[in-house]
């Protein structure tokens, strides 16, 4: 019979968990493994709230096993390293994103594509190698294999860095893989939330012209004046959308709500690319004519590998990019989830774990 979460492992831990598909989070005692020879243990100072956390705690993907401690945008300070750890030492500022393990032997892992490993272990909601459940970053500390830990550069604040670990790499990776990173290219960003605002910042840092495409006209001044987008299209305004047909080299679609693909395909130039990083539940309708005429493509992308995550963090540090956040105490987390559901945040909540999560 499985041990109670508190007794599963030798080291006591505490955090907030959802216990059923209401998604309501409340204090939760559990435990973590002792620091193994390749492990890095760190006190979590901050954890970003990703929209995936919300999908997961409400069991929208049908895979939740309760209790769930979400959180896969963690930053903290190293307290202990295993005997075989070479990259980190006590006192270092580090982060962990969406993965805490992979098989380390398949071709994907060998190609630094741990995010596509069939045996990947997610930071929360997965089964560890020892069969126990993984618990995420809405908690006081973390123990993680060195390979899945990244360094947070000194110049980067912990709170603004945390969302990079999922939102950042999720848009950075496809910009690189699909070649939408050449200065002068014109990038469309659909949806201005956690992912979207990061895509605008990375796009501008790469020298792209960036157009934000959104259902909310009220986001225009934010997009252009604060985030630096070059243009803004209201997606349900047929005249604006018609005027932009065939103008974009690439489009990053971050929207998870149901929406149409064809209008986005039409915005793409010949050879243009529509990249999906949001995951609406219902399938799109693919109009073959839309992609055949103009040789356009629709591709997907899922988070990023570890090497790429570190590369992205370093790029962000170099270009002074951090996420736009609202820092909250942990006991605000349920209200934050309600607001997140309504997209009422600019643009990521980050839990101030260090100062507000108490045993």
Q: Which of 238, 295, 319, 344 binds other proteins (CB under 8 A)?
A: 295
Q: Which of 299, 318, 320, 335 binds other proteins (CB under 8 A)?
A: 299
Can residue 291 be called a binding residue for other proteins (CB under 8 A)? yes
Q: How many CB atoms lie within 10 A of CB 338?
A: 12
Q: Using alpha carbons, select from 99, 78, 85 the residue that is nearest to residue 152.
A: 78
CA 72 → CA 112, 122, 164, 203, distances in Å? 19, 8, 10, 23
Per-residue x/- marks for other proteins, 257-276, CB under 8 A? ----x--------xx-x--x
| CB of residue 338 to other proteins, shortest distance in Å | 26
Can residue 119 be called a binding residue for other proteins (CB under 8 A)? no
Cβ density class 71-106: b for 16+ within 10 Å, e for less: bbbbbbbbeebbeebeebeeebbbbbbbbbbbeeeb
CB 50 within 8 A of CB 74: no
Can residue 300 be called a binding residue for other proteins (CB under 8 A)? yes
Q: Using alpha carbons, select from 274, 165, 163 the residue that is nearest to residue 213.
A: 274
Can residue 286 be called a binding residue for other proteins (CB under 8 A)? yes
Q: Tell me which residues in 96-115 interact with other proteins (CB under 8 A).
A: 108, 113
Q: Which of 96, 277, 312, 357 binds other proteins (CB under 8 A)?
A: 277
DSSP 8-state class, residue 244: T
Q: Which is nearer to other proteins, 240 or 302 (CB)?
A: 302
Residues 6+ apart with CB under 8 A from 157: 322
Q: Which is nearer to other proteins, 168 or 290 (CB)?
A: 290
Phi-psi region of 71 (alpha: psi -120 to 50; beta: other; left: phi over 0): left
Can residue 293 be called a binding residue for other proteins (CB under 8 A)? yes
Can residue 116 be called a binding residue for other proteins (CB under 8 A)? yes
Query: Taking contact as CB under 8 A, which single stretch among the options 15-23, 121-129, 149-157, 292-300 is the one that binds other proteins?
Result: 292-300
313 vs 164: CA distance, rounded Å: 7
Q: Which of 91, 183, 285, 358 binds other proteins (CB under 8 A)?
A: 285
Can residue 182 be called a binding residue for other proteins (CB under 8 A)? no
Contacts with other proteins by CB under 8 A: the residue count is 33
Roughly how many angstroms between the first and final C-alpha of the chain, as a whole number?
Answer: 27
Maximal C-alpha separation, the chain: 63
Q: Which of 92, 128, 151, 177 binds other proteins (CB under 8 A)?
A: 177
Can residue 50 be called a binding residue for other proteins (CB under 8 A)? no
Can residue 294 be called a binding residue for other proteins (CB under 8 A)? yes
List the structure tokens of 343: 């997209």
Q: Using alpha carbons, select from 21, 45, 25 the residue that is nearest to residue 96.
A: 45
Can residue 280 be called a binding residue for other proteins (CB under 8 A)? yes
Which residues lie near other proteins (CB under 8 A)?
Answer: 108, 113, 116, 177, 261, 270-271, 273, 276-280, 283-302
């Amino acid at each position: 019979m499985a041990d109670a979460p508190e007794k599963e492992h030798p080291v006591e831990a505490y955090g907030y968990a959802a216990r059923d598909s209401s998604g309501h989070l409340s204090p939760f005692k559990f435990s973590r493994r002792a620091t193994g020879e390749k492990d890095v243990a760190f006190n979590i100072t901050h954890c970003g709230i990703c929209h995936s956390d919300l999908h997961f705690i409400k069991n929208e993907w049908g895979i939740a096993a309760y209790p769930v401690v979400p959180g896969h945008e963690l930053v903290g300070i190293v307290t202990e390293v295993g005997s075989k750890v070479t990259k980190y030492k006590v006192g270092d500022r580090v982060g962990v994103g969406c993965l805490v393990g992979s098989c380390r032997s398949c071709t994907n892992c060998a190609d630094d594509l741990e995010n596509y490993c069939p045996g990947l272990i997610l930071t929360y909601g997965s089964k560890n190698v020892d069969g126990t459940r993984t618990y995420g970053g809405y908690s006081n500390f973390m123990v993680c294999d060195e390979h899945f830990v990244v360094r947070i550069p000194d110049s980067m604040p912990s709170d603004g860095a945390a969302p990079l670990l999922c939102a950042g790499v999720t848009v950075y990776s496809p910009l690189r893989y699909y070649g939408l990173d050449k200065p002068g290219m014109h990038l469309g960003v659909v949806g201005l939330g956690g992912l979207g605002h990061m895509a605008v910042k990375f796009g501008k840092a790469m020298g792209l012209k960036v157009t934000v495409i959104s259902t909310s006209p009220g986001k225009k001044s934010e997009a252009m004046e604060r985030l630096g987008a070059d243009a803004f299209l209201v997606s349900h305004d047929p005249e604006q959308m018609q005027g932009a047909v065939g103008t974009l080299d690439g489009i990053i679609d971050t929207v998870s709500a149901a929406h149409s693909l064809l209008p986005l395909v039409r915005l793409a130039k010949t050879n243009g690319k529509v990249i999906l990083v949001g995951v609406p539940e219902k399938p799109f309708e693919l109009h073959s004519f839309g992609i055949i005429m103009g040789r356009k493509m629709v591709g997907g992308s899922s988070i990023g590998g570890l090497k790429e995550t570190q590369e992205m963090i370093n790029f962000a540090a170099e270009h002074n990019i951090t996420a736009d956040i609202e820092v909250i105490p942990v006991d605000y987390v349920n209200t934050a989830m309600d607001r997140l559901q309504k997209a009422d945040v600019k643009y990521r909540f980050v839990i101030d774990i260090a100062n507000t999560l108490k045993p």
